[in-house]
Structure 1
Amino acid sequence: MPELSRRRALTAAAVIAGAPLVATPVARADDHHHDSHGSTPGSFDEVYKGRRIQGRPTGGSGHHHGGGYGVYVDGVELHVMRNADGTWISVVSHYDPVPTPKAAARAAVDELQGARLVPFPAG
């Protein structure tokens, strides 16, 4: 079985979600507080457009999967990653960096357009 590449995963996620691969920027006034470059953002738990989004430090410290930060949409993990410049991206909006994990969760909800987030295979 071929190895799952990032490109294949993004394509599959877009097809399943029925969403285009190009994301629409999502920036909200309350999301523009930038953390100091090395700090971990605080927790959040809210309902955004009818979807429950949550984020919290996980205690891990790797550079993959948010570097010790977990983001969830309706209880399903949204894989996020922090870029070198301190911005965040997710598997759903990979080419649209945002300032915070909360903004990444909101961007994912916007891109999903009501579709369910499918768990992303780790590996």
Structure 2
Amino acid sequence: MSQLTRRSALGITASAVAGLGLAGTAYAATSSAPAHGVVPAAGDEHSGHMGGMDHTGHSAPAPFDEVYQGRRIQGAPTQGGEHAHHGGYSVQIDGKELHVMRNADGTWISVVNHYETFATPRAVARAAVVELQGATLVPLA
């Protein structure tokens, strides 16, 4: 018979903690509160329309172009091309592409914040700027 070793006990504990963390993230993503405490900035929403959605079909988020924490972030819908399978939206930080994807539930993720979901591409871009802490975004190969 095998005995419980310190290594296996630590592994079991780490797995349990990771599972609880994922469960908490899933719960937070389904709650009615804004995603990860992100409060929409002025101009993100206007009455009569879903937050930040475009007027054409209400399916694609509206384009944005702003300076956030000293970094220029831009986002706009794309027409087909290589980005069509990523939600049809392109996001750039200081002119360099931030790879974003739209999840089946309508939330967005990026390569910088791959395990966090956000309500809009603008929120994804802002979170990436915070996470980069001034570092240059390196495009995917």
Q: Are 2:93 and 1:82 equivalent residues in the alignment?
A: no
Per-residue deviation, 1:68: 1.4
Structure 1 residue runs of 4 or more that deviate by more than 4 Å after TM superposition: none
Q: State the one-letter code of the partner of 1:27.
A: V
CA deviations on 1:10-54 (whole Å, 9 max, x unpaired) are xxxxxxxxxxxxxxx461233572759x71111000000000000
CA deviations on 1:78-104 (whole Å, 9 max, x unpaired) are 000000110000000011100000000
1:29 equivalent in structure 2: 40
Equivalents in 2 of 1:95, 1:88: separation in Å? 10
Any gaps of 5 or more consecutive residues in structure 2?
A: 1-35, 46-50
Any gaps of 5 or more consecutive residues in structure 1?
A: 1-24
2:52, 2:62 within 8 Å by CA — same for their partners in 1? no
Percent of residue pairs bearing the same amino acid type:
63
State which structure, 1 or 2, has the greater radius of gyration over its C-alpha atoms: 2
Greater RCO, 1 or 2 (C-alpha within 8 Å, sep 6+) = 1
Counterparts of 1:1-123 in structure 2, within 5 Å, are: 25=36, 27-30=38-41, 33=51, 35=53, 39-60=59-80, 62-64=84-86, 67-121=87-141
Equivalents in 1 of 2:88, 2:137: separation in Å? 21
Aligned length: 95
TM-score, scaled relative to structure 2:
0.60
Q: State the one-letter code of the partner of 1:62.
A: A
Aligned-residue Cα RMSD (Å) equals 2.3
**1:91 and 1:77, CA in 2 relative to 1: closer, same or farther beyond 3 A?**
same
Structure with greater helix percent: 2
1:57, 1:68 within 8 Å by CA — same for their partners in 2? yes
Equivalents in 2 of 1:59, 1:84: separation in Å? 20
Q: State the one-letter code of the partner of 1:90.
A: S
Report the secondary structure of 2:90's partner residue.
strand
TM-score, scaled relative to structure 1:
0.69
